[in-house]
Structure formats: C-alpha cells, structure tokens
Amino acid sequence: MTAPAEHSAVREAVREHLRAPGGERGRGPDVLGALVLGGCAVWPLISAAGRDGRPEGALLAVLAVTAGYVFGRISGSLVPVATATVVSVGALVAALVSSQRTFGTTVAVVAQSGGAGAVTALLVLAAGAACCAATAARRPAARTALRLQALAVAGTAVLLGSFVGFVAALGVLLCSLAAARMRRRLLALAGLGLATALVVGTSWAVAERALPEGLSVSLEGQLTQYRVALWHDAAELAKANPVLGVGPDRFGDLSPTVSQSLDTDGTPHSAPLQQAAEQGVVGVLLLGAVFGWLLYGLGRSPCSTPVVLTAGATLTALAVLASVGNALSFTPVTAGASLLAGLATARRAAGPA
C-alpha cells in the first residue's frame, strides 16, 4: 500500500470513529465538570460564612471527587482493565476491613449506620469495577474471571450479612451482562437518572410525611422510625433556612433526634436531605448537578456502550444508597466512585502502529 493510500485509510478510520456513538467527547463534559466542582467548593464557604459551619468535610469531598476523577481519566487512557481490577480488589479489601467490628450482623436498608453504610457501598463499588474491567477486557478468559470476581463480591456480601450489598452487587452484574446487548446509551442513562430522581423524591416525601398513610406506614417499617425522624428534622431545618441552610456539618448540632440518641454519626442518612438542611436549595442543586455531570460525561464518553452503562449502573446504585444512607460520608467511597467514572470516560492513548 502506498503512503497516500495509508493516509486515506487512516483518515477514513478517524471519520468512522467520530461517527460512532460517543466517538467524540468534546470539551462540554470537562467544562461542565470544572464549573460544577468549582461551585461545590465555593458554596460551602458561603453557607458557613458568619456562622459555626464547618465546610472542611465538604471541601474534602470535592477534593476526593476531583482527585479520583483525574486519576481515573489518566489511568483509563493507559491501563483501564488493570486499574479497574485493582479498584475492585481494593474496595473489597476495604469492605472486609471495615466490617470486622460488625461481621455477622444483618444489614438492611434501614440499618446502615456507621461503618455498615460504607461496607455496603464499597461492596457495590468492588462489583461495579470488576464488571467494568470484564466489559473492557478483550480476552474471553479474562472477562469470565472478572465476572466471577464480581459474583464473588456478591457472595462476600452474603457472608458479611449485607443483604442490600448482595442485591446491589448482583444487580450491577446483571446490568453489566444486559449492557453488552444494548446500543442506545443515552436512553439507558436517562432511565438510570430517572430511577435515582424517583428514589430521592420518595425519600423527600417520606421526610415531609406527604405519602398516603398506608404507604407511609409500610415505608416507615422498612426505614425505621429513627431514620424517618432524622429525615423529618432535615426537612424542617431546610424549610427554616431554604437558601443558605444551617451551615455545613451542623445537622448533628441542631437535630432534636440526634441530641436524644446515644449512638449516632450526626447525619440524617440521606445525602440530598443533608445538603438541603446544611446548604439549602443551592446545595441540593449542586449535588444533583454532580450526578448529572457524571451521567452526561458517560453519555459523551469515547468508551464502548457496555462499559459506559456498567459504570452508570454502579454510580446509580451508589446514588440510591446515598439517598437512603450515609454512603457519601466516607471518602474512599466518594473517591472510588469518581475514579470509576473517570475510567469510563477516558480516551485510550494511541498505541504503536
């Protein structure tokens, strides 16, 4: 083949790549991410100004998201399968270490207090990372081994007594298998976003006691009266301070339910409700914008659709856990989730001819 013919073939391959779904990422997701993360760093300082608010935790969360995402983008362009595998193993080891004090206890959606919420989220992250690595792997043997690893994570959740972790990890694995047959990523990502919004809306309705009595009693039985009381306190604080909130990390100081409890972590066990109470409506919008940015980045990702949807399913599972628990209160979970998002939105580095 002559040199002009080679150049023509290369140009045609590039055109085909750009015409493929997600082939051209563009600058939109990166610009949006910079704006959203910048707002998440500035608003806690504004909310805490002139009061006893403690914005350090919110700033640490922003730093963890930024660092994890950047590392994921860099490593995803070089060794995506190896990085995702290491993330899976690391999250599983972290879950085992975190569960040493609570081994054998039954963990339900309603009982994820303290380290139990972190254990469940880490198990989901471990399963999701293994599934992403399996979807991106080229060798059938590697794909099979990595999917078995994800199944082993679900089995570990059973051994640790985390029923929610088992269901969520198994759900991510099934979504990963289904994603291999899907081609329309935008429709699937929109469905994941809608599911998350439905869970957030339901939790807010429970906090406001706006649901029908029968449904409210049923959900309260699953969520426990203590958690519902925490959510109600958060809703009341949000209504009293709708714009600025009461200040970052001040819910535990102002919640009557927390003050009457001897064993509490000082959070309402719901990330959206905590944002509403401590940082007002702007904080809630920024939290939603972060999740929306991640889904938007996945929609524009140059990675294959199965990888994108597997990562999207994992992030959705973590978002649901954060809506009814304290998963985002743990830095390893926040950093790991953003790292997985970075892996699924990275462009592979050009290899040798």
Residue with tokens 């590392």: 71
299 versus 220: the higher-pLDDT residue is 299
What pLDDT is attached to residue 31? Answer: 93
Statement: residue 291 has pLDDT above 50: yes
How many residues in total does the chain contain? Answer: 353
What pLDDT is attached to residue 106? Answer: 39
Q: Kindly report the average pLDDT of the chain as a whole number.
A: 86
What pLDDT is attached to residue 26? Answer: 65
Averaged pLDDT, 268-279? 94
DSSP string for 121-185: HHHHHHHHHHHHHHHH--SHHHHHHHHHHHHHHHHHHHHTTBHHHHHHHHHHHHHHHHHTT---H
Statement: residue 248 has pLDDT above 60: yes
| 262 Rama sector, left if φ>0, alpha if ψ -120 to 50, beta otherwise | alpha
- pLDDT digit string, tens, across residues 59-118: 999 999 999 999 999 999 999 999 999 999 999 999 998 887 544 443 333 334 456 788
With CA atoms as reference, report the closest residue to 96 among 153, 150, 134: 153
What pLDDT is attached to residue 16? Answer: 36
With CA atoms as reference, report the closest residue to 283 among 313, 246, 321, 256: 246
- d(CA 285, CA 39) in angstroms, rounded, equals 10
Tell me what percent of the residues of the chain surpass a pLDDT of 70.
Answer: 86
Averaged pLDDT, 327-332? 90
- pLDDT digit string, tens, across residues 146-201: 999 999 999 999 998 889 999 999 999 999 999 988 888 999 999 999 999 999 99
Statement: residue 270 has pLDDT above 90: yes
Partnered with residue 353 across adjacent β-strands are none
Domain ranges of the chain: 27-47+54-344
| Cβ contact 182:188 at 8 Å | yes
What pLDDT is attached to residue 67? Answer: 96
Statement: residue 25 has pLDDT above 90: no
CA 299 to the chain's CA centroid: 16
With CA atoms as reference, report the closest residue to 308 among 321, 288, 294, 291: 294
What pLDDT is attached to residue 14? Answer: 39
Q: What is the pTM of this model?
A: 0.87
